[in-house]
Amino acid sequence: MPTALPPAFRESWRPIGTRTRESRLVMTSTTAETTLYEHVPTADTPGDRDPRPDDREIPVRSLFAIDLEITPSLPSMGVSPRAVLGMAAGHVKRQFVRNVEADGLCVDGEETTTDFERSDGTAGKRYVLSTSAPIDPHAVCGDHSIPAETHVAVWPTARSYGVAGGTLPLSAPDGLEDVLVVDPDRDRERILEFARTVTPGEE
């Protein structure tokens, strides 16, 4: 089931798909259920396409929440998720990059890594990635595309990690300035507030 949106986001955002992926790392396996959300007022602008579970498309203005299950759980192995946050967050970010690249978002590099704090005081990590969204979903990275920025926040939970963030456009391609509204500062604040308040896995 899609992760529920925080109350402040329910009027302007809607879930547009949930995808489940599995991976392995040494002695553990992970199941990541990702819910993607689109911004309703700008859902029909270039780059904001309507992804269905089998499509390779991510809206250039979007939010996501990942319900991450680790088997066996870290506490059952005597490991506190908080204690190994630094190592685990880097692995989660790398797996996230592989997944979104498979879905059609181009990842050009990592810009910054900063500390992150949830609304309940839980400390985590936030990664800012330089990305771009091809206007044509079948185009190759580097072709006609929208420059973007993707934020990935990772924080410890009782048994695993919460992951959330979003993507925002940085500029509109020539000829589309009147169609694609760009406001990076507003979008960054929106993504940060979402990551602070969403609870992945909560229906």
Give the tens place of pLDDT for each residue, 19-56.
Answer: 999 988 767 889 999 999 999 987 765 544 443 333 44
- Mean pLDDT, the chain, rounded, equals 88
Residue 126 lies in a domain: yes
Residue 95 lies in a domain: yes
Query: What is the DSSP-derived secondary structure letter of residue 81?
Result: T
pLDDT at site 174: 78
Angle at 87 between CA 197 and CA 111, to 5 degrees: 70
Residue 176 lies in a domain: yes
d(CA 100, CA 151): 12
Containing structural domain, residue 180: 7-197
Residue 27 lies in a domain: yes
Tokens of 92: 């989660």
Q: What pLDDT band is residue 175 in, cutting at 50, 70 and 90?
A: confident
Residue 71 lies in a domain: yes
Residue 2 lies in a domain: no
Tokens of 153: 């926040």
Regarding pTM above 0.85, the answer is yes
Cα–Cα distance list, 156 to 13, 75, 144, 184 (Å)? 26, 12, 38, 28
| CA-closest candidate to residue 61, choices 80, 45, 81 | 45
In sequence order, the β-bridge partners of residue 163 are 66, 154
In sequence order, the β-bridge partners of residue 198 are none
Give the tens place of pLDDT for each residue, 108-142.
Answer: 988 899 999 999 999 999 999 999 988 876 666 76
Residue 109 lies in a domain: yes
Q: Is the pLDDT of residue 158 over 60?
A: yes
Long-range contacts of 184-193 (CB under 8 A, 24+ apart): 184/149, 187/61, 188/149, 188/151, 190/63, 190/166, 191/63, 191/151, 191/165, 191/166, 192/126, 192/151, 192/153, 193/8
Give the tens place of pLDDT for each residue, 67-85.
Answer: 999 999 899 999 999 999 9
pLDDT at site 177: 76
d(CA 26, CA 87): 14
> Considering its fold, how many domains does the chain have in total?
1
pLDDT at site 52: 34
Tokens of 91: 């692995």
Residue 73 lies in a domain: yes
